[in-house]
Amino acid sequence: MTTSDEQLILITGASTGMGAATARELARRGYHVLAGVRRQADADALRTTGVEPVLLDITEPEQIEAITRRIADDPAGRPLRAVINNAGIAVNAPVELLSMPEWRHQFEVNLFGHIAVTKAVLPALHASSGRVVNISSIGGKVAMPTYGAYAGAKFAMEAMSDALRRELAPHGVQVVVVEPGGVRTEMTGRGIERMNETVAAMTAVERGRYGGLLQAVISHATAFTKSGLSAEAAGRIIAEAATARRPRTRYTIGRDAAMLTRLSRILSDRLLDRLLAADLRPHFPKGQQATAVAH
C-alpha cells in the first residue's frame, strides 16, 4: 500500500470550521490535501505544508472539471485516497416562508453539488480503491422545526450514501457517512444571521404565526453550538473516517448526535415530537411557551 505522503485527499468546504480543521489534521497525518475553497482570500489563509487550497464551488461544473484534471495530472502521480464532501449551507425558516429559490439553492449546495463532485472523482477512486466520506448531520436523522430544507437535503444525502455504498462495495470503493451534532463553527453563526433576517422580513401575520418559533430556534441553536465540540475535535473524527483501515459505515460527532440518532430509531413519531418540543420550549419568548407543546 502507498504511504500517506504518497496520497491525495480532496475535501470541499474547507475555508473554515470543520473543513479547515480536517484539512490541517490530514496534513498533520502526512496526506497531501486538496482543500476546496470559494475565495482566494480563504485560500491564502489556509495554505500550509501539506494543504493545497483549490478554488472549488461545488455548484460550478467548470470548477469541478478543473479539480478532476488537477487530480489526474498530479505532478507526483499520487492516487486519490478519499473525497470528503463537506461543503454546506444552512438556511432555516418554516416551510411556508422559505422561498422556492432558497429551497433549490440549499439542495444544490447540500446534495446535488456533492453528487456532482463524487461522480467526477469516482474514476480516480476506482483506480485507487479509495473512499467517499459524506458529511451529513444529525439533521439527516431528525428534522427540527424550521430545518425542513436543510434536513431534507441531509436525509437525501443519507439515502444517496446508502445506495452508493451498496453499489461500490463490490468494486472496492468504500462509502462512509459522518453525522455531526453540535460543533462550534462559523456556519451556525451564519445560519443564525439568516434566521434573524427572516424574522425582520416577516409580515405581521407571519410574525404572529412563526415569530416565537424562530426566536426559540435561534436561542436553541446558539446554546447548542456553544456546548458543542470544537472544530478541531470534529476534524479528528472526520480524518479517522477518511483514513481508518476498517472504517465504520457511519460516525457520529458529539454525544447529542449519538443520542438523537438512537432515539429516532426507537421512539414513535409522536413521542419524538414531544421530546423535541420539550427541548425547544425553554427557548421561546416568555408567555409563548404554551404554544410550543406538541399535541
CA–CA–CA angle 251, 253, 63 (5° rounding): 80
> Could you give the CA distance from residue 147 to residue 140 in angstroms, rounded to a whole number?
10
Per the CB < 8 A criterion, the answer to whether 57 and 39 are in contact is no
Q: Could you tell me the three cell numbers for 84?
A: 470528503
CA within 13 Å, CB half, 132? 31
Burial readout 285-294 (b: 16 or more C-beta within 10 A, e: otherwise): eeeeeeebee
Per the CB < 8 A criterion, the answer to whether 111 and 129 are in contact is no
> Could you give the CA distance from residue 123 to residue 278 in angstroms, rounded to a whole number?
48
Catalytic positions are 150
Torsions phi, psi for 255 (to 5 deg): -65, -30
Tell me the CA distances in angstroms from 174 to 7, 86, 116, 251, 254, one per residue in order. 16, 17, 18, 14, 23
**How many residues does the structure list for the chain?**
295
